[in-house]
Amino acid sequence: MAYHSFLLEPISCHAWNKDRTQIALCPNNHEVHIYRKDGARWSKVHELKEHNGQVTGIDWAPESNRLVTCGTDRNAYVWTLKGNVWKPTLVILRINRAARCVKWSPKENKFAVGSGSRLISVCYFEQENDWWVCKHIKKPIRSTVLSLDWHPNNVLLAAGSCDFKCRIFSAYIKEVEERPSPTPWGSKMPFGELMFESSSSCGWVHSICFSASGSRVAWVSHDSTLCLADANKKMAVASLCTETLPLLAVTFITENSLVAAGHDCYPMLFTYEESQGTLTFGGKLDIPKQSSQRGLTARERFQNLDKKASSDTANATLDTLHKNSIRHISVLAGGKANCSQFCTTGMDGGMSIWDVKSLESALKDLKIK
Amino acid sequence: TPRRTGDALRAFHAAIRSHPANCKNPAMKEQAQGTMLKVLTSFKSSDIEPAVNSLDRNGVDLLMKYIYKGFEKPTENSSAILLQWHEKALAVGGLGSIVRVLTARKTV
């Protein structure tokens, strides 16, 4: 696995360009820094300074090469590369709380922003006025929208919220697209239509992801659960109570397999069994270092007893690659249908690239379906 | 004696099964808590681990909720035995089961 320590501070969010030679990330402040790969090293090539608050979301459109960023300053900017300079365009989101997440739609003609204003701003470019406008999806969201993901049809939008629910809305904008054809989530899709709403879990929904086909949506909540709704099974929801600390990020890597990571600092595999409608834990994806097993001296043993009331030899350092919570996962190669590489960033300021084939050969019991 | 062990295990499963889910009546909940605490404290230390292993995932989560409820309202010597139950339940349910005690909307 390739691990690079960018910062001593948390990486708030990140996004990759199309050919994966550049990564844009927020170094826990009001800026976005873009690094380019130079052989084995990373060099900082741009600093985007426009936000007046922490940048909470970044997305990089692969075809049009535009960046969109959003922040706690309640603003979003669309950035276009002119020569060697990134030029920002302000987008008025009409929100009165921090923006928390942003995603370009698959066709890159719209983007959606989730915020603490308990609504989603769906933004599109209005040609005649030469600026970005937005429409709001409000009902029935009751709290901050923490995560968003678009369906491949460019219309349906999944949203995870602090009101414990995962919802799928229509974000159909007649000004920029044709009427969408029916999907397993429904056929009538006027703007703002609620196509699916999960029953309450007991935790904020940190991350949400459509499968490559769009007929499945998975989400992770703060009550240490992973859930999946299958539109081909009448939107039946499978859920798994994990034995881990809450997960903060999830992505599909095949139509049946998911990778999620969070406060336990390592990514893990989950498998969806369609016939039984179940989710199962498939294993930890971090290959532990070969740590030397040295015995404890009598003094250390006594100190352990005194401090921790136990004399076991488990040390206090993490043997995972990331040394703090993982906040974001992105698919680098293969797409969500057949992911061969994914990337994690976290509170330890580090970025790690995980190779699926290497994981499969190193972890003998790993079964990716 | 084997008969006494069997009684405790049966009482344990009965208490888990008869947990009043979705109940808002405080008197009923208190009664269920009291019953469960009696059952948990009647166990011999060596019988705790097999009892925990006989539960499914939901059972372990439920047990963890009762353990923390028992910590909230300690009786003479209850905490010592509850700590043993906690150790065994944690081994099976992981930190996730404790997270779900903290996030649960419906308390036991």
A167, amino acid identity: R
Best mean pLDDT range from A139-143, B8-12, B20-24: A139-143
**pLDDT single digits (tens) A108-142:** 999 999 999 999 999 999 989 999 999 999 999 99
For residue A338, give the DSSP letter.
B
Quickly state the pLDDT bin for A303 (edges 50, 70, 90): confident
Cβ of A245 within 8 Å of Cβ of B96? The answer is: yes
A216 in Cβ contact with A228 (< 8 Å): yes
Say if A262 is an interface residue toward chain B (CB within 8 Å): no
Going by DSSP bridges, is the β-strand pair A225-230/A216-221 parallel, antiparallel, or unpaired?
A: antiparallel
C-alpha A75/C-alpha B99 separation (Å) is 34
Say if B105 is an interface residue toward chain A (CB within 8 Å): yes
Q: At what angle do helices B78-103 and B57-72 cross, to 10 degrees?
A: 120
pLDDT at A296 over 70: no
For residue A251, give the DSSP letter.
E
Quickly state the pLDDT bin for B2 (edges 50, 70, 90): low
Quickly state the pLDDT bin for B88 (edges 50, 70, 90): very high
Read off the tokens for A249: 């990020």
pLDDT at A156 over 90: yes
**pLDDT single digits (tens) A159-205:** 999 999 999 999 999 999 999 999 999 999 999 999 999 997 899 99
Read off the tokens for A173: 């904008």
A105 class by beta-carbon count within 10 Å (0-12 exposed, 13-18 middle, 19+ buried): buried
Say if B43 is an interface residue toward chain A (CB within 8 Å): no
Cβ of A241 within 8 Å of Cβ of B97? The answer is: yes
C-alpha A76/C-alpha A103 separation (Å) is 11
pLDDT at B41 over 70: yes
Alpha-carbon separation of residue A7 from A44, A52, A202, B54, B68 (angstroms): 12, 21, 33, 47, 39
**What's the pLDDT score for residue A369?**
87
Percent of chain A at pLDDT > 70 equals 95
pLDDT at A318 over 80: no
**What's the pLDDT score for residue A94?**
97
Say if B59 is an interface residue toward chain A (CB within 8 Å): no
Read off the tokens for A145: 């929208």
Cβ of A202 within 8 Å of Cβ of B105? The answer is: yes
Say if B3 is an interface residue toward chain A (CB within 8 Å): no
B24, amino acid identity: K
Could you tell me which residues come within 8 angstroms of residue A259 by beta carbon, excluding any fewer than 6 positions away?
A250, A251, A253, A267, A268, A269, A270, A285, A329, A339, A342, A354
Domain A2-362 matching CATH 2.30.30.40: the answer reads no
What residues of chain B lie within 8 A of the CB of A244, using their CB?
A: 94-96
C-alpha B100/C-alpha B64 separation (Å) is 9
Cβ of B99 within 8 Å of Cβ of A245? The answer is: yes
**What's the pLDDT score for residue B7?**
87
Say if B61 is an interface residue toward chain A (CB within 8 Å): yes
Length of chain B: 108
Say if A244 is an interface residue toward chain B (CB within 8 Å): yes
Say if B33 is an interface residue toward chain A (CB within 8 Å): no
Alpha-carbon separation of residue A369 from A105, A274, B27 (angstroms): 27, 11, 49
Mapped to the 3 state alphabet, what secondary structure does chain B carry? CHHHHHHHHHHHHHHHHCCCCCCCCHHHHHHHHHHHHHHHHCCCHHHHHHHHHCCCHHHHHHHHHHHHHHHHCCCCCHHHHHHHHHHHHHHHHHHHHHHHHHHCCCCC
For residues A301 and B87, the model is more confident at B87
For range B38-53, the mean pLDDT? 94
C-alpha A173/C-alpha A190 separation (Å) is 9
C-alpha B38/C-alpha B50 separation (Å) is 18
A110 in Cβ contact with A153 (< 8 Å): no
Read off the tokens for A40: 């084995």
Length of chain A: 369
CATH number, domain B2-103: 1.25.40.190
Nearest to B96 among A200, A202, A243 (CB): A243
ipTM: 0.90
Cβ of B99 within 8 Å of Cβ of A223? The answer is: yes
What residues of chain B lie within 8 A of the CB of A225, using their CB?
A: 100
Sheet holding A205-210, edge to edge: A205-210, A216-221, A225-230, A236-241
Cβ of B95 within 8 Å of Cβ of A224? The answer is: yes
For range B47-74, the mean pLDDT? 95
Shortest CA distance from A223: residue in chain B:
B100
Say if A325 is an interface residue toward chain B (CB within 8 Å): no
C-alpha A76/C-alpha A94 separation (Å) is 10
C-alpha A352/C-alpha A358 separation (Å) is 14
Domain ranges (residues) in chain A: 2-362
Domain ranges (residues) in chain B: 2-103
A44, amino acid identity: K
Say if A222 is an interface residue toward chain B (CB within 8 Å): yes
**What's the pLDDT score for residue A305?**
76
- DSSP string over A167-221: EEEE---TTTSPPPPPBTTBS---TT-EEEEPPP-SS-EEEEEE-TTSSEEEEEE
Cis ω before A140 (30° cut-off from 0): yes
What residues of chain A lie within 8 A of the CB of B61, using their CB?
A: 241
What residues of chain B lie within 8 A of the CB of A202, using their CB?
A: 100, 103-105
A205, amino acid identity: V
Task: Enumerate the H helices of A232-314 as residue ranges.
Answer: 298-308
Exposure string of B59-92, with b = 16+ CB inside 10 Å and e = fewer, is bbbbbbbbbbbbeeeeeeebeebbebbbebbbeb
For residue A326, give the DSSP letter.
E
Q: At what angle do helices B2-17 and B57-72 cross, to 10 degrees?
A: 90
Alpha-carbon separation of residue A138 from A21, A113, A337, A357 (angstroms): 37, 12, 31, 42
**What's the pLDDT score for residue A243?**
96
For range A332-359, the mean pLDDT? 96
SS3 A360: helix
**pLDDT single digits (tens) A280-293:** 999 999 976 655 55
Read off the tokens for A161: 């919220």
A257 in Cβ contact with A247 (< 8 Å): no
Angle made by CA atoms A53, A54, A60, in degrees to the nearest 5: 115
Say if B11 is an interface residue toward chain A (CB within 8 Å): no
Mean residue pLDDT across chain A: 94
pLDDT at B61 over 90: yes
Distance from CA of B2 to the nearest CA of A (A): 32
